[in-house]
């Protein structure tokens, strides 16, 4: 029997009876959702990607708000957001937030030690792909105190990286291990004994010749792995080393670099011990690609 023959009695009914019949059987059940044409742009997903890092930074700033409000809040916050955005383009927003937080801990080590010494210090300024910087409005009174300010950053930054390592070990998370590796690396890199890096300021308490070793090592690294960042550090470091070397014989500079042997030993032990610990930390947290 054809479909036309099946439905012929229904078609022959008066219109009123046809409507009554349809009302009794109701609408056919649909077990699917109709497909509506759209633009193809996942605006909801894009919104989540935008708001997620903003909310994460907001929570971070809320936690450390008491410290931030003592400085230039807007400048620090905006420079952090810009840096997070830059790192997020390479590694995702979660890693960008964590990486900037590690840099913040490093810089706060410098800030807290400088403030302990009574030195006026600027707020941390974050520069995408270059890290961050603080400005001392007054130099420490001698090379011993300069070394303390210089080493405080890597010490606090290393503790923050070690905390990430601990979280990674507890949760068996490659993300946290990779973040710890990055933290160990940036602190170890900062220990290269050449100004303006922390290592160059720390070894000022040892002997000016150490700057020459650092400059030679950085020059070799730049030839081996050339990149704009290393070239910039090499140029700035070379200019600063030349300036300090020329003025080392001045009376005030001789007083500045006069450090007791016990303090020289303390700087050497902390500097070398921290460098060794950071190298071991990198080896333990390296995540295979």
pLDDT score of 34:
38
Cα 107 from Cα 126, distance rounded (Å)? 10
Identify whether the C-beta of residue 191 lies closer than 8 Å to the C-beta of residue 278.
Answer: yes
Helix (H) / strand (E) containing 89: helix 73-91
pLDDT score of 153:
93
Distance of CA 21 to the CA centre of its chain: 70
- How many other C-beta atoms can be found within 10 angstroms of the C-beta atom of residue 3? 7
Helix (H) / strand (E) containing 242: helix 228-246
Q: Give the pTM.
A: 0.69
Residue 201 token pair: 């300021």
Identify whether the C-beta of residue 167 lies closer than 8 Å to the C-beta of residue 174.
Answer: no
Q: What is the pLDDT confidence band of residue 58, given thresholds at 50, 70 and 90?
A: low
Least confident of 18-22, 50-54, 192-196: 50-54
Q: What is the pLDDT confidence band of residue 213, given thresholds at 50, 70 and 90?
A: confident
Helices 261-285 and 143-171: angle between axes, nearest 10 degrees:
20
Residue 31 token pair: 């077990």
For residue range 87-106, what is the model confidence (pLDDT) as tens digits?
A: 888 888 888 898 999 999 99
- Judge whether residue 211 has pLDDT over 90: no
For residue range 215-230, what is the model confidence (pLDDT) as tens digits?
A: 888 888 888 888 888 8
* Mean pLDDT, rounded, for 234-252: 80
Cα 100 from Cα 124, distance rounded (Å)? 11
For residue range 1-17, what is the model confidence (pLDDT) as tens digits?
A: 444 444 456 566 676 66
Cα 118 from Cα 78, distance rounded (Å)? 27
Closest alpha carbon to 105 in 73, 67, 78: 67
Identify whether the C-beta of residue 173 lies closer than 8 Å to the C-beta of residue 232.
Answer: no
- How many other C-beta atoms can be found within 10 angstroms of the C-beta atom of residue 67? 16
pLDDT score of 135:
79
Q: Where are the domains of the chain?
A: 51-138, 150-289
Determine the straight-line distance between the first and last CA of the chain, rounded to whole angstroms: 67
Q: What share of the chain is helix, strand, coil (3-state, %, to 5)?
A: 70, 5, 25
Mean pLDDT of the chain: 78
């Amino acid at each position: 029997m054809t479909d036309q023959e099946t439905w012929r009695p229904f078609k022959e009914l008066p219109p009123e009876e046809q409507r009554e019949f349809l009302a009794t059987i109701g609408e056919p059940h649909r077990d699917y959702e109709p497909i509506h044409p759209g633009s193809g742009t996942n605006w909801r997903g894009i919104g989540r990607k935008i708001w997620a890092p903003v909310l994460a930074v907001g929570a971070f700033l809320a936690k450390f708000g008491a410290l931030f409000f003592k400085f230039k809040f807007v400048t620090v916050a905006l420079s952090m957001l810009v840096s997070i955005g830059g790192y997020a383009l390479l590694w995702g927003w979660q890693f960008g937030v964590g990486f900037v937080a590690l840099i913040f801990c490093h810089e706060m080590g410098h800030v807290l030690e400088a403030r302990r010494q009574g030195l006026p210090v600027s707020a941390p300024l974050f520069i995408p792909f270059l890290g961050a910087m603080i400005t001392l409005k007054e130099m420490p009174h001698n090379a011993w105190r300069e070394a303390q300010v210089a080493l405080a950053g890597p010490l606090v930054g290393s503790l923050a990286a070690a905390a990430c390592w601990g979280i990674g070990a507890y949760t068996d998370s490659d993300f946290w291990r990779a973040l710890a590796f990055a933290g160990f690396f940036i602190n170890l890199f900062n220990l290269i004994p050449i100004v303006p890096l922390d290592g160059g300021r720390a070894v000022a308490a040892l002997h000016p010749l150490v700057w020459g070793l650092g400059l030679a090592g950085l020059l070799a690294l730049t030839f081996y792995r050339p990149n704009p960042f290393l070239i910039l550090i090499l140029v700035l470091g070379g200019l600063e080393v030349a300036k300090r070397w020329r003025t080392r014989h001045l009376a005030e500079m001789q007083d500045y670099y006069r450090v007791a042997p016990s303090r020289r030993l303390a700087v050497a032990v902390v500097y070398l011990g921290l460098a060794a610990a950071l190298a071991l930390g990198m080896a333990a947290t390296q995540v295979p690609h």
